[in-house]
Chains A and B, each alone.
Chain A
Amino acid sequence: MAFGFLMLASILRFMAKGWVYDMYIKPKLFFPYYGFEWVKPLGETGMYVLFIALAVAALFIALGFLYRFSAILFFIGFTYVELIDKTNYLNHYYFISIMSFLIIFLPAQRYFSIDSSINKKITATYAPNYFILIIKFQIFLVYFFAGIAKINSDWLLHAQPLKIWLPAHSEMPLIGNLLTKEWVAYLFSWFGCVYDLFIPFLLFMPRFIKPTYFFVIVFHLCTSLFFNIGMFPYIMISLTTIFFTEGFHLNIINAIRSVIRGTANEDAIIYSPHTKNVKLISILFIVHFIIQLLVPLRYTIYPGNLYWTEQGYRFSWRVMLMEKAGTAFFYVHDRTSGGEIEVDNKKYLTYMQEKMMATQPDMMIDYAKFLKAEFIKQGLKDPIIRAQSYVTLNGRGSREFIDPQVDLSIQSNSFLKNKNWVKKY
């Protein structure tokens, strides 16, 4: 229910900020994900209709109305939107996609919902423990991998990038001055790391739940105060309530209920799905979690510094780890005349796309291929597309990012192939 309301708020916020237009209508080209190149945006009307549908689906999930249908719709719709352009990739969005996938299988409509009041037959007060457990396990993985990712020398030994990000807030009342101190950056770094590593374990211990939850709130409110991360802190704060005992949730439900229509007497009904379904669902979940375990570890198959090359960076719960920025100059080289055109990136890319592309090699390839097609249209014959890119990572000073002589338009984003034209870190 909380998930539904938060998603509703997220979708409305997204629309209110005009991001639907900025991200999915205005851009002249989109950067699809590897394997999902066929995903294209729907055009202006289509995108707005889709977002409204997502908002309605989120509301229905919250109210428990047409629950399963709404959950499926929300999952497909939301994931589709995210797949359109990897410029907009955020771990938060990925997390929402996964969560909306998992809740499809939950029997959440069976208690305190419109569905269950319409159709009393489906009402159940107890769900099998494993349904709750899968959500818990997913949250566990997110925190744990985020924690592991923080065990690196930049984060722990250099307090980067917090050493850059925190002093930028020095004008804050009361704590502003404190934020400029080096030890504060270290404290935040170490606390963040320890928090991410241990909080998932603590959450599983019912007797520590109150102090643990207190930390959850403090931690996420801090991140929301200092960083530009949108709804995510609130999502995590509300979702971790799943670790509370049943009594806690019943109290909330009863409180809401007393506002609506007074308390109702009810008998304990245990929801037990058909054995066949249980088997299917179990297999599904096992496969899901194997993937969830392997995907964040895939970076180990690529050589080089992960933060520099970003091969295997996405979908790995690596958050707040890098202050990375870059400038990329693209050149279209005409084989016939030997002349060269420096591309005006602003002409083709939104600000956000240009910024992301300048530091992410796979997006450079996509862009180079787009440019090649564009300039062939303008009359060039088989031009070479090369780029000079300078990137700075965690306050180390910019340096050349890729080999400026390589024709990016003939490179490919294959899954296993290392991008050897990215310079060594």
Chain B
Amino acid sequence: MKLKGNTFILNVILATLFFIACDKKKIDKIDEEDTSFDKPAMLANYADNVIVPNFQSFKISVDSLVSSFNTFIQTKSVSDLTALRQKYITATSKFQHISTFEFGPSESEIVRSNFNTYPTNTVQINSNITSGSYNLGTVSNLDAKGFPALDYLLFGKNETDASLIALFDTDPKATNRIAYATACLSEIQIKTNSVLNSWNNTYKNTFTSSTGSQIGSSLGLLVNQLNFEVDLLKNGKIGIPLGKKSLGVTLPEKCESYYANNISVKLAKECLLNIEDVYLGRTTSGVNGKGLDDYLEHLKAMHGSETLNDAIKNQFTITKAKLDLVAEPLSSSVNNATSTVDAAYLELVKLLVLLKTDMPSALGIVITYQDGDGD
């Protein structure tokens, strides 16, 4: 009898617990407003107002670069060379605004590596031009194509405007050189069109409908690639030329767009601006839409006594200010103004920590395929 009694009591407790739980659910549904963050709206903002418009704007700059090149090889005039170089600078700057989105269509086309592996391999480029036979799709040509190769081809190593034009005109290899530059340009153009089409046709929907936080979710992909981009900015654009990987020995020739000579800092700033755009969900027209900042605010994520969002936004401000102090060309600044460049680098490190450690942790984003047990 006693036995049964105990079971009975336990069952009653259980039933009550469940009743309370269910009841509470009901009350909540009626009383409280939706407390969950509108992730689909955030993803839609990223797709519609940030990612696709940036690809569109990049595509326009690429098309314009290609047509400018075609004009130049007809006229071979100094003024068209100057115009062409301007188009190159615009396109490579716009590239900084799409580099982060290396998932989905961009990942299939391996946009980052195909478009922007630097420092470029001038020996390989020249041998390709000489032989006239090459396959730009091979791994060995990764550092002999894309924007870095165009940088070398259009600006040249210690060339005057006249001598550079001669390379495309009277030089014995002029035809091959034109063909090579054309091949580099059309690879960029074809892949860019393909990526933009994928986004417009199917991927936009794929992206906005994957609302989880698990591995491979849109949020996970975006945050991962954002961090990868900060890493590229910190190391590739600043750290490596500054000698951070070479015992403090500076490597000016490793600057991005080294041959254009005075845009490396500009490209770094564009890149940082894009990282900030992605963080804020800021559109190409400058409107701060629903983004990671809003998500962090919603989750009330903290960093010491301030909110994590404030900490990150402040760090963006400080980093931009330090980067503004670095003078072009970066290849000279790493030697002449080492401490100024170093100061910017240190702020980038702090930014990276916040975006790579604090943000994913606060968002509960899973970034590994392996099982975990929370330790």
Residues of A within 8 A of B (CB): 17, 19, 22-23, 88-92, 161, 164-165, 167-171, 176-181, 207-208, 211, 227-232, 313-314, 318-327, 329, 334, 337-342, 344, 351-352, 355, 388, 390-392, 395-399
Contact = CB atoms under 8 A, between A and B. Distances in A.
Chain A to chain B: the 4 pairs with minimum beta-carbon distance, closest first: A339-B247, A168-B364, A230-B371, A397-B303
B368 interface: yes
A311 to B, nearest CB: 13
Contacts of B6: 207-208
A17 B215 CA distance: 14
Contact of A171 (B7, B39, B375): B39
27 contacts: A19-B370, A165-B364, A167-B299, A168-B365, A177-B34, A178-B28, A179-B36, A180-B36, A211-B11, A229-B373, A231-B371, A232-B371, A319-B374, A323-B364, A327-B356, A338-B248, A339-B248, A340-B244, A341-B244, A342-B244, A342-B245, A352-B368, A392-B357, A396-B302, A397-B308, A397-B358, A398-B354
A237 B194 CA distance: 50
Contacts of B299: 164, 167
B248 A352 contact: no
Nearest to B355: A327
B363 interface: yes
Contacts of B7: 207-208, 211
A337 B249 CA distance: 10
Interface in B225-281: 235, 239, 243-249
B14 A181 contact: no
B44 interface: no
A90 B372 contact: yes
A398 B303 contact: yes
B373 A337 contact: no
Contacts of A320: 373-375
A198 to B, nearest CB: 12
B244 A229 contact: no
B188 interface: no
Nearest to A318: B375
A97 to B, nearest CB: 14
Contact of B357 (A88, A181, A391): A391
Contacts of B373: 90-92, 229, 232, 319-320
Contacts of A334: 247
Given A181-B35, A397-B311, A398-B357, A167 B364 contact: yes
A322 B357 contact: no
A211 B14 contact: yes
B37 A229 contact: no
Given A22-B369, A171-B212, A352-B370, 14 more contacts: A90-B371, A90-B375, A178-B25, A180-B37, A208-B10, A229-B372, A314-B375, A319-B373, A319-B375, A326-B357, A327-B357, A340-B244, A341-B246, A398-B303
A395 B311 CA distance: 14
Contacts, number: 154
A170 B298 CA distance: 13
B39 A170 contact: yes
A217 to B, nearest CB: 13
A231 B371 CA distance: 9
Nearest to B360: A325
Contacts of A165: 364, 374
Given A313-B375, A320-B373, A327 B362 contact: no
A344 B235 contact: yes
A191 to B, nearest CB: 9
Nearest to A88: B370
Contacts of B167: none
Contacts of A314: 375
A168 B248 contact: no
Contact of A342 (B37, B239, B365): B239
A325 B14 contact: no
A338 B357 CA distance: 30
Contacts of A89: 375
A124 B71 CA distance: 93
Contacts of B10: 208, 211
Taking each of A170, A323, A390, which has the highest tally of chain B beta carbons within 10 Å of its own beta carbon?
A170
B123 interface: no
A391 B358 CA distance: 8
Interface in B287-311: 299, 301-304, 308, 311
Contacts of B11: 211
Nearest to B211: A171
Contact of B245 (A176, A344, A397): A344
Contact of B36 (A17, A91, A92, A170): A170
A176 B36 contact: yes
A387 B301 CA distance: 27
A414 to B, nearest CB: 22
A168 B39 CA distance: 10
Taking each of B213, B352, B353, B375, which has the highest tally of chain A beta carbons within 10 Å of its own beta carbon?
B375
Taking each of B39, B211, B244, B352, which has the highest tally of chain A beta carbons within 10 Å of its own beta carbon?
B244
Contacts of A325: 357-358, 360-361
B304 A397 contact: yes
B76 to A, nearest CB: 43
A166 B311 CA distance: 24
Contact of B248 (A321, A340, A392): A340
A344 to B, nearest CB: 7
B276 to A, nearest CB: 19
B3 interface: yes
Interface in B327-374: 349, 352-354, 356-358, 360-374
Contacts of A179: 36
Nearest to B352: A327
Taking each of B3, B303, B349, B358, which has the highest tally of chain A beta carbons within 10 Å of its own beta carbon?
B358
A321 B375 contact: yes
Nearest to B10: A211
A177 B35 contact: yes
A180 B353 contact: no
A329 B372 contact: no
Taking each of A211, A326, A395, which has the highest tally of chain B beta carbons within 10 Å of its own beta carbon?
A395
A277 B372 CA distance: 39
Contacts of A351: 367-368
Contacts of B349: 329, 388
Nearest to B214: A228
A395 B356 contact: no
A228 B371 contact: yes
Contacts of A340: 244, 247-248
B374 A180 contact: no
